[in-house]
Amino acid sequence: MSWYTTTCDKRQTRATIMTRQASVIATAQRHRLKIIIALVLLGLLGITQGEWRSLVQEYQDDIVYLGIQHIELTLISGSLAIAVGIPLGVILTRQRLRHIAEGVMQVLNIGTTIPTLAVLALSMTFLGIGTLPALFALWIASLLYIVRNTYSGIISLPPTLLEAAQGMGLTATQTLFKVELPNALLVIFAGVRTALTINVGTVPLAFLIGGGGLGELIFTGIDLNDTTMMLAGAIPTALLAIFVDIVIASIASLVIPRGINPLAEQQ
């Protein structure tokens, strides 16, 4: 009896630690959003009234056109990363494949270890110039965060939950969809939120290989030493990153059940 109690206490402690880690991840993301907002506000305060008028009048059409391209690149590459990353993370948590999980993570880590410009250059070498290599590079750069968090969120669940599911007669598939995924959603959404926010900030580099996006205004403004043109691309990019972060956070708060969402208790 004493051994069983000790084992349960250890498992409960582990579950508590993982819950706190998930809460820390979400809290860190909120602080990051505040920092981004502060930087955007500082940039806005540095613009004179004349620069504002010039920015709106001269670059309004460009901002709309390139902004749509920027959003399309983010949505397509982000959706592909989610579509591949979550299933791959789930597959790696299965007992037969756990021994290769870290090896797969190291392979995916190449996409974030290698500078984004190098990834874009390699993509351009094999896929040519245009949207396709840009999408591939952005997909590679976003994949690790989603796979890693999906894997970590499921693998760190308290064993007592899985034992209870087995005791109730649930199959492996039922356990995955009714126990494992719902309890790992907070960590999974943290990965998705990080991946998409970074994706938005990386998309401007796609301009360098003909992928389009707001990077056209940013890099052209830098080359011409035109601050207004540069800000016409930089400010919408920052605002878009904030918007994406808020949207993902809102979706997470709606999807994650309050009973297993430690952040819901703080609200």
Region 228-242 average pLDDT: 85
The pLDDT value recorded for residue 79 is 93
pLDDT at residue 98, rounded to an integer: 82
Cα gap 236→239, rounded to integer Å: 5
pLDDT in tens, 104-133: 888 888 777 777 778 888 888 888 888 888
Kindly indicate the confidence band of residue 47, based on its pLDDT and cuts at 50, 70 and 90.
low
- pLDDT tops 70 at residue 96: yes
User: Confidence class of residue 172 from pLDDT cuts 50, 70 and 90?
Assistant: confident
Residue 2 has pLDDT above 50, yes or no: no
pLDDT of residue 49: 53
Q: How many CA atoms lie within 13 A of 233 on its CB side?
A: 27
Whether the predicted pLDDT of 19 surpasses 50: no
Higher pLDDT among residues 258 and 27, named by residue: 258
Q: Which residue has the higher pLDDT, 138 or 9?
A: 138
Does position 91 have pLDDT exceeding 50, yes or no? yes
Model pLDDT, residue 113: 74
Query: What confidence score (pLDDT) does residue 7 get?
Result: 46
Domains in the chain, ordered, with CATH? 19-266 (1.10.3720.10)
Q: What does the alpha-carbon distance between residue 9 and residue 22 come to, in Å, rounded to a whole number?
A: 20
pTM for this entry: 0.77
The predicted pLDDT at position 36 comes to 56
Decide if 179 contacts 161 (C-beta within 8 A).
yes
- Averaged pLDDT for residues 138-147: 88
For 5-52, the three-class secondary structure string (H helix, E strand, C coil) is HHHHHHHHHHHHHHHHHHHHHHHHHHHHHHHHHHHHHHHHHCCCHHHH
Query: Is residue 236 within 8 Å of 214, Cβ to Cβ?
Result: yes
Three-state SS string across 242-256, please? Answer: HHHHHHHHHHHHHHC
Task: Give the position of tokens 């670059």.
Answer: 59
